[in-house]
Chains A and B, each alone.
Chain A
């Protein structure tokens, strides 16, 4: 509870003071939703170590507040090279605001909506009303509650029943680094009707350094039999605090398949909460993270098996160098009625330096009696025997180290094999290895 002596609810005043000017203000349910967000965040405050899902990542860096909402900046003439050129419906945000000039949304098939959420709230709020704010559990996700207090711009993607989107949707979020470090609160809403199929590729990159704060929230609702492939690359500036909270509601026999590559930010956190709400649903959460310097990279997942005969599988693999710290917290909850659940979870971390650290807490909580569940976590160094084998064939030490690290990551990367982003992600990993695993490194 806020006690007034220190600021436990930074940014709250900014949200409340600005509410009258935010998109869709004056629409009753929009105003009410923002108030609900503000109240939930106000009651909880900034997450602390006592919070179950924030045990290993502190947000002290945010306690001073100090990040104003990013002003509308200048939109670059072209996308930076860091953004993969994939054939896709392109939806571009610049400093949290939809940038139509960089986007490519002409000729959308019927039954497909890809729009700015802010514009939707301003002009057609009824389209977002049935879902927005109803998937996320604000009590469990205080930073998503803060995002809801701002409820700003972002992607609104809606597919009618049975629609199979022909190309991926590429959501690019650029941060340009203005005069002073600023904050963005992007909000995305994805609604797939029964039997609809789509691929969503997210790319988060900075066009300039300077830090700042991103607090993104995404709500995804999948109808019966719907399928969403969701890829996300977090390649932010290493001075930035980047938080992403994704909430997924899976209908019967639907599939949510997520892959997160985190390599940027000073504090980078991806939190995914998925509720398998109908029988025969499937949820796959995979990820790779690469940390160096003093980065903290956090992957937190919560998968709730709320219906019988659902499957979930998670594989997260990370490489940590320097003083970097990785966090994996994963919880699988199986309720009493969720019989025949198949749930697996694996976290593996490779530590390249003595000062690197991983905090891993895989957790199973099972109330049904007929289930197949497993979890595991490992942390270790490069295998000396394998290293010597490569050296004994004349392969230079740095090259050998990079080969073994790539091999370690390959299992997780196989999850994206054949996808449009596979080659791009593999290239990103190679770039990181070239920059961080150099010839001078000790063996």
Chain B
């Protein structure tokens, strides 16, 4: 059984159709990349899969591990193992990273029938996962993403992923706003999470990220559906030719 199966998905935002009959199957252990121009529906897809308010599903179905994903509340999806690394991580003044991370990890652990971690054990748990992400104690004590640089925010997203150990992770434009060193750091963090049990969907506008997170499959999204699929070489082809050709095909 596939880890994630999207069948003929249709979705609207403010009653405007954005996703128009999207099919995609991702197996455990696979990394898929979705590429597409601005406005093709990339971010909408990530929000539909994670259940954000205002993203209305008007047709089709999504099965996660055989379960109806669209029937679950956003927090339930996350506890079942769906994770979204945000393109623009949200600043939450007044909530410390440690409190945020521990509340989230314990919610997920509780769902898996594992015992919650007390603050002492949790510090250890997080330290085991910061790895090479270059995350200081000071960053962990500060409010969630508040005053963080673009690179710091993206590193924190990867730390959250490492802490929550999702079974399916969506990385939405994780490369945006990063210089090459920061990009490598984040990509290393993502690659460390690749495993036979875990699926990933990497959403990106540029091919550059895929030099560092090498996908098993590449899909081109245009006008809310996948217009071409292929191996990692498809990304290079796109980089060379641009999206115009595919947009014509989709029209």
Contacts and interface: CB of A to CB of B under 8 A. Distances in A.
Interface of A: 384-386, 388-397, 399-400, 403-404, 406-411, 443
A267 B4 CA distance: 55
B142 to A, nearest CB: 13
Interface string B205-224: 00000000000000000000
Contact of B92 (A384, A397, A407): A407
Given A388-B53, A391-B74, A394-B79, A411 B104 contact: no
B75 A394 contact: yes
B92 A386 contact: yes
Q: Which interface residue of A394, A409, A410 has the most chain B CB atoms within 10 A?
A: A394
Given A395-B103, A409-B94, 5 more contacts: A392-B74, A392-B75, A393-B78, A403-B100, A407-B143
Contacts of B185: none
B160 A393 contact: yes
Interface residues of B, number: 29
B78 A406 contact: no
A415 to B, nearest CB: 14
A388 B78 contact: no
Given A394-B79, A394-B164, A407-B94, A399 B52 contact: no
A408 B104 contact: no
Contact of B164 (A386, A390, A393): A393
Contacts of A384: 53
Contact of A393 (B51, B53, B93, B100): B100
A400 B94 contact: no
Contact of B73 (A386, A390, A397, A409): A397
Nearest to B81: A394
A60 B72 CA distance: 49
Nearest to A387: B53
B1 interface: no
Nearest to A384: B53
A385 to B, nearest CB: 5
Contacts, number: 75
B94 A388 contact: no
Contact of B94 (A392, A394, A396, A406): A406
A411 B95 CA distance: 11
19 contacts: A384-B53, A388-B52, A389-B89, A391-B73, A391-B75, A392-B50, A392-B84, A393-B107, A394-B79, A394-B108, A394-B111, A394-B164, A395-B75, A396-B75, A399-B107, A400-B75, A403-B95, A406-B94, A406-B95
Interface string B93-105: 1110001100110
Contacts of A410: 93-94
Given A386-B90, A407-B93, A391 B103 contact: no
B150 to A, nearest CB: 16
B86 interface: yes
A289 to B, nearest CB: 17
B94 A411 contact: yes
Given A388-B53, A443-B53, A394 B78 contact: yes
A397 B74 CA distance: 9
B52 A390 contact: no
Interface string B152-196: 000000001000100000000000000000000000000000000
B103 A399 contact: yes
Interface of B: 50-53, 73-75, 78-79, 83-84, 86, 89-90, 92-95, 99-100, 103-104, 107-108, 111, 143-144, 160, 164
Contacts of B73: 391, 397
A438 to B, nearest CB: 15
A219 B167 CA distance: 64
B87 to A, nearest CB: 12
Contact of A392 (B78, B92, B144): B78
Contacts of A408: 94
Q: Which 6 A-B pairs have the closest CB atoms?
A: A407-B94, A394-B78, A393-B104, A410-B94, A389-B90, A391-B74
A389 B103 CA distance: 13
Contacts of B84: 392
Contacts of B111: 394
A408 B94 CA distance: 7
A430 B233 CA distance: 55
Contacts of B144: 389
A405 to B, nearest CB: 10
B95 A404 contact: yes
Nearest to B75: A391
A396 B79 CA distance: 9
Contacts of A396: 75, 107
Kindly name the residue among A386, A390, A397, A410 whose own CB sees the greatest number of chain B CB atoms within 10 A.
A390
Contacts of A392: 50, 52, 74-75, 78, 83-84, 86
B86 A389 contact: yes
A9 B185 CA distance: 74
Contacts of A399: 103, 107
Contacts of B95: 403-404, 406-407
Contacts of A388: 52-53, 74, 90
Contacts of B100: 390, 393, 403
Contacts of B75: 391-392, 394-397, 400
Nearest to B95: A407
A388 B46 CA distance: 13
